[in-house]
Structure 1
Amino acid sequence: MTVDRDKALSAAPSVQQIGWTARDVLLYHLSLGAGSDAHHDPELHLTFERRLTVLPTFAMVAGGGISSGTPPEPSLDLPGIDIDLRQILHAGQELEIHRPLPAAGTATLASRVAEVWDKGKAAVIVRESTASGPDGEPLWTSRMQIWARGAGGFGGDPGPQTHESTPDRRPDTVCDTPTGPQQALLYRLNGDLNPLHADPEFARAAGFHRPVLHGLASYGLVCKALVGELLDGDATRLKALSVRFAGPLFPGETVRTAVWRDGDRLRLHATCPERDGAPVLTHATARITP
């Protein structure tokens, strides 16, 4: 495994055209549990095509769902970076929404390596992607942090040292979001068909006692909880969401999100109550409009 930081940072962005339909959006919302309590609240703004609104985290799967056919095999084709896919972990995710996402549309997605940090035994690769609509104006910008084991030691900057801190007071809100036993099977239809999320034998070989939920599913579940419980169901009020993936969540478990408010900023910490508060998402913040 080799990392040429200068080559990675100086490479031209890769550009692709993506598209999605209302069916993709509906499936994404259903895979996050929308409408699961339909007799009490069918969440029609998320589950019915008329007046459909789009959760911001749909940006993470746009262009990869049922309207796109069979998703391609996972790859990490990055200039200057030659690493084993089996040695990488999705370490963190940031998303900034520039304007409300349409329920159906097309976009130009430009992706580049924004930073590479040398952590000694590992490297952290920050891959930044910006989607622009047909009018050329940006829709969203995402930054994925990839932890590449065995790729460090190339003599680079170790990057910023961050430590999670939550306010020294009780959270303003605690959101409990249950998941179902089929949650990962639904979520993978958004495009991530990794057998880790479906095949018990594969999961055991990877060190888990059963299939795990996608990290981006936990990310989406927290987004949905924030929109539903703090923002009066108005998805357009959530402008940014940043997290570190701290531990697995298994289908059927609950993600408990503690929220501390500070004006238009939220501090978040997500855990699994069924496993004594095991961390799921940490170093988490969100930005909202009042």
Structure 2
Amino acid sequence: MDIEALRHFRFDEIRQSYSKKDTILYALGLGYGSDPLNPDELRFTYEQDLHAVPSMVNILAHPGFWVQRPELKLNWRKLLHAEQRFDILRPLPPEGELSATYRVTGVVDRGAAKGAWLYQRKDLSDAAGRPVAQVSSTYLLRGDGGCGMFGTAEPELPPLPQRRADHVLRQPTLPQQALLYRLSGDMNPLHASPEVARQAGFDRPILHGLCTMGIACRALISVLCPGAPERLRHLSLRFSHRVYPGETIQTEVFDLGAGEIRFRSRVVERDVIVLDRGRAELAPATAPAPDEMAASPG
């Protein structure tokens, strides 16, 4: 990694128009539609009265696989997505036009043997310039430790309550889940090419972390606010282990009251926690109209 090249790297502003078809494709990539007679599934997969899954803010106006830029000299094959957060500032419509500004907010060096943390921020706005979402990503650069540091780190995610979960939901994934999900924008070959996966230390392609996050988002909406995805205002979590397409994801939800939710997800077949320290915030069922929402993260 060239730390100075990364410090001064600037993203171009990205504008994206997306359609109902894009919104439906994203939902299908999360497994929506597995029960085509369920009205709560159709809400995200049928164009009439279509709703966008809130976690779609993660992939809209995607900057592409920018870590492959040669001037940055990043060992991108050893990059892992470590944490993700988003705050919904205005409900995402099922179609429209958005603009995104990106920046690398910091790099924290853990030493040559341990790699480095890289922090990236995205601000999404609609065509009228109104903030829609703020999205933060944390990456572990396993092959780039000892190269220096700058900026600031994201705050640490707190551990979960030590008690039985209030809700548990199991969701199977498809063997082709990663191939379907990547059509929404994340074309990292780690999720499609067996050769690239082996080079990265995996025996086969793994599921996108953001797909697993979207599946957890789907679970939270299903058990906590069915029919009202706009109530979800915040989601954050740590990616703690890989998921292989075809495995079953079990999401365990802790309802702390007053809209405060904690959660984790595990792969049933291997009994391995794959999403940890999850946190969500829900607006009250009588939430204010979109234009009255605060334009700052919760």
Same fold (TM over 0.5): yes
Residues 18-37 of structure 1 aligned to structure 2 (within 5 Å): 18-37=16-35
CA distance in 1 between counterparts of 2:155 and 2:237 reads: 15
| CA displacement at 1:151 relative to structure 2 | 3.0
Number of the residue aligned with 2:118: 125
The yes-or-no answer on 1:2 pairing with 2:2 is yes
Number of the residue aligned with 1:187: 181
Question: What one-letter code is carried by the residue in structure 2 that aligns with 1:125?
Answer: L
The yes-or-no answer on 1:168 pairing with 2:162 is yes
Flag the 1:222–1:208 CA change in 2: closer, same or farther, 3 A. Answer: same
1:173-199 per-residue CA deviation (whole Å, 9 max, x = no partner) reads 112111112211211111223333233
Which runs of 5 or more structure 1 residues have no equivalent in the other structure?
A: 65-70
The yes-or-no answer on 1:94 pairing with 2:88 is no
Number of the residue aligned with 2:294: none
Flag the 1:234–1:161 CA change in 2: closer, same or farther, 3 A. Answer: closer
Q: Kindly, what percent of the aligned residue pairs are identical?
A: 37
CA distance in 2 between counterparts of 1:233 and 1:222 reads: 16
CA distance in 2 between counterparts of 1:194 and 1:258 reads: 29
Flag the 1:150–1:169 CA change in 2: closer, same or farther, 3 A. Answer: same
CA distance in 2 between counterparts of 1:58 and 1:95 reads: 10
1:225-269 per-residue CA deviation (whole Å, 9 max, x = no partner) reads 111121123110111111111111111111111111122211111
The yes-or-no answer on 1:272 pairing with 2:270 is no
Asked if the contact 2:33/2:45 (under 8 Å) is kept, the reply is yes
Number of the residue aligned with 1:234: 228
Higher alpha-carbon deviation: 155-164 or 265-274: 155-164
1:98-117 per-residue CA deviation (whole Å, 9 max, x = no partner) reads 01111111112111122222
Asked if the contact 1:110/1:131 (under 8 Å) is kept, the reply is yes
Flag the 1:171–1:219 CA change in 2: closer, same or farther, 3 A. Answer: same
CA distance in 2 between counterparts of 1:245 and 1:42 reads: 27
User: Equivalent of 1:61, from 59, 68, 75?
Assistant: 59
CA distance in 2 between counterparts of 1:245 and 1:92 reads: 6
Asked if the contact 1:20/1:63 (under 8 Å) is kept, the reply is no
The yes-or-no answer on 1:283 pairing with 2:277 is yes
Aligned residue for 1:76, secondary structure, equals: helix
| CA displacement at 1:159 relative to structure 2 | 4.8
Number of the residue aligned with 1:144: 137
Residues 207-286 of structure 1 aligned to structure 2 (within 5 Å): 207-262=201-256, 263-275=258-270, 277-286=271-280
Question: What one-letter code is carried by the residue in structure 2 that aligns with 1:206?
Answer: A
CA distance in 1 between counterparts of 2:155 and 2:111 reads: 14
Flag the 1:12–1:182 CA change in 2: closer, same or farther, 3 A. Answer: closer
Higher alpha-carbon deviation: 24-33 or 185-194: 185-194
TM-score normalised per structure 2? 0.84
RMSD: 2.7
CA distance in 1 between counterparts of 2:72 and 2:120 reads: 12
Question: What one-letter code is carried by the residue in structure 2 that aligns with 1:132?
Answer: S
Number of the residue aligned with 1:103: 94
Asked if the contact 1:14/1:112 (under 8 Å) is kept, the reply is no
Residues 73-88 of structure 1 aligned to structure 2 (within 5 Å): 74-76=65-67, 82-88=73-79
Aligned residue for 1:176, secondary structure, equals: strand
CA distance in 1 between counterparts of 2:148 and 2:45 reads: 50
Question: What one-letter code is carried by the residue in structure 1 that aligns with 2:107?
Answer: V
Aligned residue for 1:274, secondary structure, equals: coil
CA distance in 2 between counterparts of 1:24 and 1:219 reads: 18
Residues 29-48 of structure 1 aligned to structure 2 (within 5 Å): 29-41=27-39, 43-48=41-46
CA distance in 2 between counterparts of 1:206 and 1:77 reads: 15
Asked if the contact 2:157/2:237 (under 8 Å) is kept, the reply is no
Asked if the contact 1:75/1:85 (under 8 Å) is kept, the reply is no
Flag the 1:155–1:40 CA change in 2: closer, same or farther, 3 A. Answer: closer
1:139-167 per-residue CA deviation (whole Å, 9 max, x = no partner) reads 11101112123433355479578475221
CA distance in 2 between counterparts of 1:224 and 1:56 reads: 9
CA distance in 1 between counterparts of 2:161 and 2:187 reads: 38
* Residue-pair matches, total: 280
